[in-house]
Amino acid sequence: MKIKILHLYPDLLNLYGDKGNIECMRMRLVWRGIDAEVVKYTCEDTGFDLSDIDIVFVGGGSDREQKIVCHRLLEHKKDLQEYVENGGALVAVCGGYQLLGKYYKLEDETIEGLDILDIYTEQGKKRLIGNIVLKSDFIDQKIVGFENHGGRTYIGKHMPLGKVLYGYGNEEKSGAEGVIYKNVIATYLHGPLFPKNPQLCDYVLTAALKKKYPDFTELAPLDDSLENTANKYIVDRFKSD
């Protein structure tokens, strides 16, 4: 078995080292004897082909970087929409999450999004920064992370990735964070999302493997004692119930 991961714009969208999530996905496959290949698409490249891609990852960046990326990504709007509708796995963090929506409205301009999710984002006054803890319906482990965004994302009828137990989330008020749609995971949680949340990482890997290999059932367990200790430490520190 083999999984091919496409990392979109590692040169521009890599705030807080979002690319560590790529390494985490790769190693959690390799440790189970599954081949993993990572291909990068940067601003220097002329186009990408999604036909043999199993997981797409797009990280977060500043508004300036997001604008550059957005113009380039719109060239692939239809391909990315089809990829998602056909069940392709896609993980988008912060700025990448905002770009999946209809638009991102800034004070003086509006950035057109990929319209993959029926959501939109508007810039707010203060930035929403800090640790965050979520409870999701589809994995047992609480999801922990760090958020830092000026945008408020309104997800309409979409299912959130999780309920906020501590922190701000999509727009501070609804108590929802991120979106889960088909095999898309979109979230404001930056940095080591997968290293700190091994169950979430395995959820994405399992989705990609099931799509590619219809007979695939489940991943072999790994010794996640260190990862689980890190996760629990944050849960206990910010949310003890």
- Footprint on this chain of ligand GLN (rule: CB under 6 A): 15, 60-63, 66, 94-95, 98, 148-151
DSSP state of 26: H
Asked if 2 contacts 35 with a C-beta cutoff of 8 angstroms, the reply is yes
CA 146 distance to own-chain centroid: 13
- When the beta carbons of 60 and 198 are compared against ligand GLN, the nearer one is 60
**H or E, element range at 164:** strand 162-166
- When the beta carbons of 15 and 144 are compared against ligand GLN, the nearer one is 15
- When the beta carbons of 141 and 187 are compared against ligand GLN, the nearer one is 187
- When the beta carbons of 188 and 199 are compared against ligand GLN, the nearer one is 188
Give min distance, CB of 205 to ligand GLN, in A.
Answer: 24
SS (H, E, C) 200-236: HHHHHHHHHHHHHCCCCCCCCCCCCHHHHHHHHHHHH
To the query of whether residue 24 is one of the catalytic residues in this protein, the response is no
Phi-psi region of 239 (alpha: psi -120 to 50; beta: other; left: phi over 0): beta
Catalytic one of 7, 24, 70, 94: 94
Give min distance, CB of 63 to ligand GLN, in A.
Answer: 4
To the query of whether residue 201 is one of the catalytic residues in this protein, the response is no
Give min distance, CB of 33 to ligand GLN, in A.
Answer: 34
Give min distance, CB of 211 to ligand GLN, in A.
Answer: 27
User: CA 70 to CA 32: how far, in whole Å?
Assistant: 35
Active site residues: 94, 190
